[in-house]
Chain A
């Protein structure tokens, strides 16, 4: 159960983009489920790309440390990913909780909702 939900998340978006683009050595940890990535035919490169160009749409403050963010961003091929991540910013910790592809190319080349 969340303590507080908020939207309009510029600060969170900036934080996530910086997390994904830093080129300096860091101990920031990233948790993910390899099975989830395989199941969704997605790679860590796709997730990192989606973080670096995406937007945090929703934030639920957790009762414990951290918050659950809902993120929408494009993978390396420009396809939209919808993700939820648990972020503990004080620990620079990000856990990928869920991932869905929002749009997939249909056989006739048009995009359709997956």
Chain B
């Protein structure tokens, strides 16, 4: 029978409540099942996804700055046992312009708001042809800077914030939070939006990531092993 990772539901759980108070417990299956379950739950419940603010330059609150907006970020995440795939929440924050058909790029050029997202993994699980590429929520492929394809149109939220270190009063920022792709395809023939494969292990590991063009990022385990014993 398959041994699946457990996901905790911590609501109402108290660490000091015993499983049983009886001095001489019988060999009850339910009792043993619970005794076996708790270490597994603690071990395989995915670690919380830490959300990072990751501006290149704190003076650049948005991504308009021509030097800094392309900046990549290398980072790592501890991953609990039993995880097979991960996704990321990406927050992008840009200053709104009155001519909002696209964002204003350097030297007056229109800048289609695309981004590149790469995943660098020490695993060799799947994806040999494009092991380190994952796409974004709009489905366009991402091979690097300036790719062709559909721009990632931000959902215009119209957060109305006052100017902060910006000379223009009452600057409006557009923000969107989107996940990376949800398709599971560990051996794509081409770059595509997909979940990021993780090497399924029975121990924790540190998974390296690389992202580009995001204002904040969170990695989270999106799928767990169907059978850790397989």
Q: Say whether A associates with B.
A: no
**Which B residues contact A (CB, under 8 angstroms)?**
none
**Chain A residues at the B interface, C-beta cutoff of 8 Å:** none
